[in-house]
Every structure is written in structure tokens, then in C-alpha cells.
Copies of this chain bind each other. A is one copy, B any other.
Amino acid sequence: MDMREQILTIAQHLVQQRGFNGFSYADIAEEVGIRKPSLHHHFPSKVKLGIALIENYTSQLETELGRISVLPITADAKLASYIALYRTSLDADYICLGGMLASDVLTLDDSMLPGLKRFFAMSIEWLSKILSEGESMQHIKLKGPVTDHAHMLLSTLQGALMIARASGDVAAFDRTTALILASLRRKG
């Protein structure tokens, strides 16, 4: 892993734990083992780093979602796999980078917003695709537009991550996500 990737990984974790205003270049430098000004060689400004972070996170997730998409399992099992992705990172107190940046949105530079919107659009799109698939295979039953359900699913997931971490109650995340999956299997 080259330095640029190392920086991105460390910075991503810092954002996921502390938010975009909750860490500094000094924090990254210490963890990655180079001096603070050297970071500017790889990312000339914190804003540019932020943009790269979103891009990187989005494409990482996109890859994993692609993998899940083609698995020979039912749509609701695919949704469970999607949830499991976030569940794993929750063990290390990481919540979704997109959700974290969404909280900080009013303090972010405008140049970061398009990437952030694309992240959410991508998530909604994937969820909608899986929900449609589940509907046509009769594994999922929904009332109303699929995209509305995708929005609800994403909202619940993001909120559950936040609340579970703040309450120190990861079991609550499991119960909430189990409940929403169960509701999709029946009548939605």
C-alpha cells in the first residue's frame, strides 16, 4: 500500500469516527508516520483530501455492492449482506462516511457536495434495484414506489448506526435492521 492509499485509509477512519471537523492533518501525520507538511504533497488541502475520500469510499462500496448483486441469493439476503457491511465497521466505532459527512454538510466546502450527493444517489439506486428484484421474485412485497422504500431503508440504516454508537448499544442496531428486513418480507 503506497503512502497515498495509507493516508486515505487513516483519514477515512478518522472521518468515520470523529467527523470532518473532528480531526486535523497533525492526527493523520502521527498515525501514518510522516511529518505534517509532507501530507500536502499528496493532498494539497484538506478539502481536496475530503473530495478524494468521498470518491474513494463510494467506489469501494460500489465494488462490494457489485459483488453482492451477483450472489445467488434472494433479494432480502442481499439487503442483509449490505447491512452486514455496515454492521462490521460499527464494531470499530466506524459509521458510514457518507452519513458522517451528511451531518457536517453545512460546514463543508461546496466542492465536496457533488461527490456526497453522488454517494447517496448511488446507494439509493442500488437499493432500488435490489428491492425491484425482490418484488418481481415475490420475496419482497412493497406498497408504493420502490425509491421511497430505498430512501426509508437508507435512512433507517444511517440513523441506527448513529444511535447504536452513541448509546453504546450495538444490539439495538441488530434489532432495528432485523425488524426492517422482516417488514419487507411481508407487506412493507
Contact = CB atoms under 8 A, between A and B. Distances in A.
A101 B186 CA distance: 35
A99 interface: yes
A139 to B, nearest CB: 17
Indicate how many identical chains form the complex.
2
A56 interface: no
A93 interface: yes
A106 B22 contact: yes
Interface residues on A, range: 35 or more
A152 B17 CA distance: 22
B176 A155 contact: yes
Contacts of A188: 183
Contacts of A67: none
Interface stretch (A2-10, A37-45, A71-79, A158-166): A158-166
Contacts of A95: 103
